[in-house]
Amino acid sequence: MGKGQKGNITGNQLETAVKTVLAGKGFKIVKYRDWVKSPSSFGDEVLLTNVPYTTIYKHRGNTEFLLISKTYDLVMRIECKWQQTSGSVDEKLPYLYLNVIESMPENKIMILIDGRGWKEGAILWLKDAVKRKKYTEGLNKKKEILVFNLTDFFTWANKTFT
């Protein structure tokens, strides 16, 4: 099994963990392409998968999840990133961050990032950029961006959805 294939399998496990936790909290998992045709058919507590947006390059991009909860007054995009072995994925973090602040329309965004293969300083850079609101101006300064590992995500979900 090649490195890329192994990373995809483990990345899928990260996504599966998100689905499992949020389904356990009462969210219905729905493909975005089905939901967009008839949102009222799926209820008010949904976790949408494969959610599109337009990237900073004006291309079509997809995010793993969009969490929508009427009960908790929450609309949050969730982007999952896993890096098991060292490679070049961490060089994409600035691109991800710029998409979060400039292109993703939601005001609440979670970046779920885990694995031991990230280059030293990569996750620290991302957390610092979020904390200092690097490269933001005007409306995108108001975005709430969370950077969590899987343990942080479990804790957040347990505290948020009681």
Q: Which domain holds residue 64?
A: 3-155
Residue 160 in any domain: the answer is: no
Mean pLDDT computed over every residue of the chain: 91
- Do you know the residue count of the chain? 162
CA atoms within 13 A on the CB side of 91: 3
Residue 46 in any domain: the answer is: yes
| pLDDT tens digits, one per residue of 146-156 | 999 999 999 99
Rounded to two decimals, the pTM is 0.90
Residue 143: which region, alpha, beta or left (left: phi > 0; alpha: psi -120 to 50)?
beta
Long-range own/partner contacts, residues 156-159 (CB < 8 A, 24 or more apart): 156/110, 157/21, 157/22, 157/25
Residue 63 in any domain: the answer is: yes
Count of the separate structural domains present in the chain: 1
| pLDDT tens digits, one per residue of 75-85 | 999 999 988 77
List strand residue ranges (DSSP E) for 19-152, in order.
28-31, 45-54, 60-69, 74-82, 108-114, 144-148
Residue 161 in any domain: the answer is: no
Q: What CATH number corresponds to the domain at position 113?
A: 3.40.1350
User: What is the reported pLDDT for 87?
Assistant: 66
Residue 79 in any domain: the answer is: yes
| pLDDT tens digits, one per residue of 92-133 | 899 999 999 999 999 999 999 998 888 889 999 999 999 999
Residue 39 in any domain: the answer is: yes
d(CA 27, CA 115): 26
By CB atoms closer than 10 A (0-12, 13-18, 19+), residue 156 is middle
